[in-house]
Chains A and B, each alone.
Chain A
């Protein structure tokens, strides 16, 4: 079979049960939202190929069960991943507190240079919010990880998050590959907007900002 992409990135979504990992993935891969969602048992993945600075990047995104009990199975998938999305639910304090545990989990099981990003999901449910955006930002600064608030339901920042993570992985990879050359244009805002508009003309209103 002919290769239809330049890069294949393996990404992983982790976070407490019910924070919206599957919904984020569904929004990104299918641009859809399902009112009657179900819990994830075991593992699943979805694929989407994006265009990143002229390169076709195939994203293979793994979705895992959130409950701690299943970690012995799910951590088996940490090793091969190049990027990990740590997801919490802004309406659930505990899921935010647990991000620290998830980070420890990554340190124990994933490769050391894995790219990470923290997502505060369900930012559309403002009336139920328990975790302010500032606290999310603070945590991100503490761990030196990028952070963004998302809403899978309203399609806020989901594209943005995956593009950002993919771009960071690509930059890191190219930096490694061509140690002599400086990394390619990382600033990305222009590119990000262009690809996003291509896919969905009316969206991309960044209600929640990126750090």
Chain B
């Protein structure tokens, strides 16, 4: 669709990406005469949908000089290919292909970038680099980033420039695999509880965190869902090292003759390392519903999701609750009613714009513009993903219909760029047009201010982010201020579409469902930003990066981020903040926790676990347990701890 000029040509081979200025330096099995010639490196899709890397020499590409001045020069096919960069192959191509180098993607094992991004080597057999290419413009990383759209790769431990192909990057495979990896753990309940209790005495902080992460597991599900494979002692060791180094960082020792002067800088408490949990499983989810289908223990469910996300197989169901399409307390009968009502409502809104005739449209410029804006974006939304790939893909039509209908649903807002990014994973997961629409509408409700006409919501978030960073990572905030970057504009893309452009589909689904829970505090997505920036701060500061370098570095992080690590860090930062004695009201307001002036320590809503909506009687008896670990005070409310100690 994006290449309308080729729509009517038969589909055979398709160039997905082309890059000029690439020399063939070495190729096993080719005569020397074939080497050192300039050409273009492409990623090509074969008629059978397999893909390969192809290098084509430029000297096969000739243009008939007599016809240069014509509007469409009559060129031989190869020549035209270079100019049109999309289209199809003919028999001429077959004749010329002797010098073409092909590397099927499903055979590719490793590849390597060397010499300042000027050289790339490919290998389909371990130990042998079959092909070496030289990039005239020193931009091999451009090719690598494109290649990553089609392959799942991992960098090798010993060499950051060598990539190992893990598997062809089809989303479903990735998802299936991660689901298969989930194992529903069963272990004797008493052992688990006893283990926790004894750990609690010896390692109160770690055990509480661990227990906290399994809050609902213990209280609601007994022996289900505990991941017994995690080695707690490793984590404790980790935590101790971290705390020690944090203490060292904050202490400067001045040695003078005979005695030492030790001064302690004001600093945040050490950051706890909080392990991620396992995803909410089918069994648990089903067990959470009463016979009529109502979801019990909503806050417990949210806690579980916050800790470990949702198993892929039940996302299509759970997301509808998280995105306020279904109320948590709806029965099966209620849901059927809601579905019916919402379906009618959707189609009546859809009909509103569908019934605008062409003639009406010709006299309705605002509508026309809105429609064309939607069309343009739909045609460039996640087209590398199999679900949206290819011309005339019916899923693009659904994407378009939902976005147009949303413009009817929220007429004042209309369509704003970024919305198609928000919708794409929802549609991919839910499949159904009506469900996707209502979940999209629910998601939009949470991020509506991102799309304000005056961008006030975005500006406010960037400001809040800057304030959080100043408190949580002051050295980086200081660096940004000296580089005129405290406006945080380089985080704009992260915030506008909630990191959609930074992660793969499977990772963004995980991140979003965690954020939708609204736990553990308001604006947790800003702490995600802080967590990412915190991990990069050494590079940014030691490299003395200015505004442009920071922007480039941040933009280049896309698809290189570890979602679990970031979530864990963000939660650690959250605990650091709320337990900091000098936490300012400004930060409290951003995080949605009561300000110091009106804080009531007896009020359970003060803590990070909101009150139960429709909980059991004991939820009223929640207690706040304050633990001290390495000078870090942690308030944990905790039915778990309470239950364990009872």
Binding site for B on A (CB under 8 A): 17-18, 29-39, 41-45, 60, 65-67, 69-70, 72-73, 76, 92, 94, 124-128, 153-155, 199-202, 205, 207
Please tell me if the beta carbons of B142 and A30 are within 8 angstroms of each other in the complex: yes
In the assembled complex, which residues on chain A have CB atoms less than 8 Å from the CB atom of B459? 72
Which 4 pairs, one residue from A and one from B, show the smallest C-beta to C-beta distance?
A18-B376, A42-B492, A36-B383, A32-B19
**B71 proximal to A (CB < 8 A):** yes
A202 touches B58 (CB 8 A): yes
B68 and A205 form a contact (CB under 8 A) = yes
- Residues on the A chain within 8 Å of B417, using CB: 17, 39, 41, 65-67, 69-70
Cβ–Cβ contact A34 & B552, under 8 A = no
Q: What are 8 A-B contacts with C-beta separation under 8 Å?
A: A35-B383, A36-B380, A36-B389, A39-B380, A39-B420, A72-B455, A127-B5, A200-B20
Question: Residue B583 at the A interface, CB < 8 A?
Answer: no
Complex CA gap A130/B17 in Å reads 28
CA distance in complex: A31, B496 (Å): 30
Out of B18, B21, B381, B501, name the residue touching A33 (CB < 8 Å).
Answer: B18
Q: How many A-B residue pairs have CB under 8 A?
A: 134
For residue B273, give the distance in angstroms from its CB to the closest CB of chain A: 32
Q: Which residues of B contact A33 (CB under 8 A)?
A: 18, 85
B71 with A200: CB separation less than 8 A: no
In contact, B492 and A73 (Cβ under 8 angstroms):
yes
Number of residues of chain B lying within 8 A (CB) of chain A:
65
Q: Is the CB of B381 within 8 A of A38?
A: yes
Q: A124, B5: Cβ atoms under 8 Å?
A: yes
* Set of chain B residues within 8 Å of A42, measured between Cβ atoms: 489, 492-493, 496
Interface assignment of B373: CB less than 8 Å from any CB of chain A: yes
Given A69-B417, A69-B453, A124-B84, 13 more pairs with CB closer than 8 A: A18-B373, A35-B2, A35-B16, A36-B383, A38-B382, A38-B501, A39-B376, A41-B492, A41-B501, A67-B416, A70-B455, A73-B489, A199-B21
**Residue pair A69, B455 in contact (C-beta under 8 Å):** yes
Find out whether the CB atom of A43 lies under 8 angstroms from the CB atom of B551. Answer: yes
Residue of B nearest to A19 (CB): B376
In the bound complex, do residue B71 and residue A154 qualify as a contact, i.e. CB atoms below 8 Å apart? no
With A31-B137, A35-B15, A35-B16 as given contacts, are A94 and B377 in contact (CB-CB < 8 Å)? no
User: Among A32, A41, A125, which residue has its beta carbon within 8 angstroms of that of B17?
Assistant: A32
A76 to B488, CA, bound (A): 13
CB within 8 Å for A35 and B84 given contacts A41-B493, A45-B548, A67-B373: no
B380 to chain A, nearest CB (A): 5
B376 touches A17 (CB 8 A): yes
Chain A CB count within 10 A is highest, among B5, B453, B548, B552, for B5
Min Cβ gap B627→A in Å is 42
Could you tell me the distance in whole angstroms from the C-beta of B486 to the nearest C-beta in chain A?
A: 13
> In whole angstroms, what is the CA distance A92 to B368 when docked?
12
Q: How far is the CB of B354 from chain A (nearest CB, A)?
A: 22
With a cutoff of 8 Å between Cβ atoms, the chain B residues found around residue A41 in the complex are 417-418, 421, 492-493, 496-497, 501
Q: Mark B421-442, 1 if CB is under 8 A from A, else 0.
A: 1000000000000000000000
B446-479 CB contacts (< 8 Å) to partner A: 451, 453-455, 458-459
User: Which residue of chain A has the shortest Cβ distance to B414 in the bound complex?
Assistant: A69
Assess A155 versus B496: contact at CB under 8 Å? Given A35-B15, A72-B454. Answer: no
Task: Report the minimal beta-carbon distance from A121 to chain B, rounded to whole angstroms.
Answer: 14
With a cutoff of 8 Å between Cβ atoms, the chain A residues found around residue B86 in the complex are: 35, 153
Q: Give bound CA distance, A34 to B373, whole Å.
A: 20
* Residues of chain B contacted by A126 (CB below 8 angstroms): 71-72
Q: Does B260 contact A (CB under 8 A)?
A: no
Considering the complex, give the chain B residue whose CB is closest to the CB of A122: B5
Which residues of the partner chain A approach B496 to less than 8 Å between Cβ atoms? 41-42
Known A41-B418, A202-B58; contact A17-B146, beta-carbon cutoff 8 A: no
Q: A27 CB to closest chain B CB, in angstroms?
A: 9
A-side contacts of B73, CB under 8 Å:
205, 207
A34 in contact with B17 given A17-B417, A70-B417 (CB within 8 Å) = yes
Per-residue interface assignment for chain B, residues 476 to 507, with 1 indicating a CB less than 8 Å from any chain A CB and 0 otherwise:
00000000000101001100110001000000
Q: B645 at the A/B interface (Cβ < 8 Å)?
A: no
**B14 and chain A: residue at smallest CB distance:** A35
Interface flag for B193 (CB, 8 Å): no
A174 CA to B383 CA, complexed, in Å: 46
B66 contacts chain A at the CB level, 8 A cutoff: no
**Assembly CA distance A35 to B4 (angstroms):** 11
Known: A37-B380, A73-B489, A154-B84. A32 touches B16 (CB 8 A): no
**Which B368-387 residues sit within 8 Å CB-CB of chain A?**
369, 372-373, 376-377, 380-384
Is B84 touching A60 in the complex (CB atoms < 8 A)? no
For residue B517, CB closer than 8 A to chain A, the reply is no
CB of B645 to closest CB in A, whole Å: 49
Q: A206 to nearest B CB, angstroms?
A: 9
Chain A residues near B377: list those with CB within 8 A: 17-18, 39
B552: A residues at CB distance < 8 A: 45
A31–B137 Cα distance when bound, in Å, is 9
Which residue of B has the minimal Cβ distance to A46? B552
Chain A residues in 8 Å Cβ range of B2: 35-37
Residues of chain A within 8 A (CB-CB) of B142 are 30, 32
Give 1 or 0 for each of B169-205: 1 = CB within 8 Å of chain A CB: 0000000000000000000000000000000000000
| B289 is an interface residue with CB less than 8 A from chain A | no
Q: Could you say which residues of chain A place their CB within 8 Å of the CB of B501? A: 38, 41
Contacting pair A202 B63 (CB below 8 A): yes
CB <8 Å contact, B458 and A73: yes
Taking a contact as CB atoms closer than 8 A, the residue among A17, A30, A38, A92 that contacts B19 in the complex is A30
Residues of A within 8 A of B380 (CB): 18, 36-39
